[in-house]
Amino acid sequence: MSVHADFDLSLPGAAIALSEQFRAIAELGGDIAWSIDCASGKPLYVSPVVETVLGYSMNDVAQQLGGSPGPLAGLGAGLAQRLQRLADGDATRLQLVRECEVPRSDGELIALEITSRLLLDEDGRALVLVGIARDLSDRRARDKERRRFASMLNHEFRTPLSTIDGAIQRLEATHHHADEATRARYRKIGLAADRLIAMLDDYLSPERMLDIGHQRKADALAPKLVLEEGAVLARAAGRHVSIALGEVPASVRCDPAGLRLAVKILVDNAIQFSPGDSTIVLRGDTVPAAPGSAVRSNLELSVSNEGAGIPADEVGLVFNKFFRGRNALGLPGSGLGLYMARSVIEVHGGTIELTSAVGQAPTVFKIQLPIRDAGKQLASAAPSSDNPAGTPG
């Protein structure tokens, strides 16, 4: 085993062999660490925690790992086949992860995740199979609770939505002589119910909840990509789009789904409130941060449209929850879109602002996000509209 030259082996702690140090490390987490000699198939080491986790004595464990019949023989299962694959030049089985259920000494089944790896000598021959067996009982209990919780929420939301959907279908079917404005309201309610039910399937299904926490979430997104995706949305609505890309970083630290949502809301807003033959402009650039900021520069993303403009008395209100301006009268919407966009950006420690005036194009929504190194926190420590000073986050 090689040791980096920067490590000082003259220190007192170096008197404890590295093998002993790593053995202790392997046992700290309460997992079962073990190793098997590839030539003989006999166990070389099993951590004592096996007695606590599985209830077998060390002698029982040694015999079963050594080839005697028993539930623990499966820890080293498939060793002969893996060695043969390696001899044939196939190195894809050097490390494997699998799950299995093993009976404890009292007969109770326990779920284990077994991760094993073949250790090779300088000539590429397998000498030892080492592994970790991890108790999955707590994880499976959490997964079961997630599914139960998701099913409960899904049901609680779906039931009233189904009632609304059924009621609006009956109204449409029985009110043949309703005026067009009333029928349009029926259709709008039906579409809203369908959209919410689809969101339940996408975001609140037991399967989706089960995935939460199982994979490391992406924590960065390319500014160029998010602008291009915004352009795709606008073009799909039949709009002309222009992208102006300045000097932007290859990626910015953020919640990708959140930033995509904020930009989508701004693009949807531009589509709805600007003439169909006008051009929507998406811009990206790097701008200096304000003096005293914890970062040197900000990513600036903007969406410009050639709409009629927003009255001066409404410019400061458009990001408020449920606010609907005079320009939105008669148009679909809930007054939550821009509020959601602002909330997402503020959570990232950024800002979103509007520049607009009646009769003076363009109307510009501008996002600024701090450009942070990987590993820095996303949320701003400063107060926000939904988390004022002194309010716990």
State how far the Cα of 369 lies from the Cα of 299, in Å rounded to an integer.
5
Is 283 in contact with 246 (CB distance < 8 Å)?
yes
Q: What is the pLDDT of residue 387?
A: 46
Residues 354 and 278 in one domain: yes
Condensed to tens digits (0 to 9), the pLDDT of residues 334-359 reads 667 888 888 888 888 889 998 888 87
Domain shared by 163 and 237, yes or no: no
299, pLDDT greater than 90 = yes
CA 284 to CA 367: how far, in whole Å?
9
Q: Has residue 66 got a pLDDT over 80?
A: no
Nearest-5° angle of CA 111, CA 113, CA 119? 145
Pick 92 or 332 by higher pLDDT: 92
Residue 378, in any domain of the structure: no
Checking DSSP bridges between strand 32-37 and strand 252-253, what pairing results, if any?
unpaired
Write down which residue in 184, 211, 238 finishes a domain.
211
* 351 plus 285 within the same structural domain: yes
The DSSP symbol for 321 reads T
Task: Go through the chain and tell me how many residues it has.
Answer: 393
Please tell me whether residues 200 and 327 are part of one structural domain: no
Query: Any idea which of 65-79, 80-94, 188-202, 232-246 has the lowest mean pLDDT?
Result: 65-79
Domain harbouring 244, CATH code = 3.30.565.10
Between CA 201 and CA 203 the distance in angstroms is 6
Same domain, 127 and 187: no
For residues 79 and 119, membership in a common domain is answered with: yes
Based on the fold, state whether residues 236 and 360 are members of the same structural domain: yes
Residues 228 and 334 in one domain: yes
pTM over 0.85: no
pLDDT of residue 145 exceeding 70, the answer is yes
Alpha carbon distance 42, 84 (integer Å):
18
Same-domain status, 242 and 327: yes
Q: Is residue 65 part of a domain?
A: yes
Q: Which of 239, 160, 219, 220 is nearest to 192 (CA)?
A: 160
236-275 pLDDT, tens digit each: 888 999 999 999 999 888 888 889 989 998 998 899 888 8
In a domain, 189, yes or no: yes
In this structure, are residues 44 and 131 in contact, taking their beta carbons and an 8 Å threshold?
no
CATH of the domain at 96: 3.30.450.20
| Same domain (yes/no): 285, 366 | yes
**Are 90 and 205 in a shared domain?**
no
Domain presence at residue 380: no
Shared-domain flag, residues 322 and 361: yes
Measured between alpha carbons, how far is residue 251 from residues 37, 220, 286, 346, 348 in Å? 47, 6, 12, 19, 15
**Mean pLDDT along residues 211-231:** 76
What value, to the nearest 5°, has the Cα angle with vertex 351 and ends 355 and 203? Answer: 110
Residue 379 confidence (pLDDT) above 70: no
Identity of the residue numbered 186? Y
The domain of 113 spans 12-135
- Cβ neighbours around 183 below 10 Å, total: 15
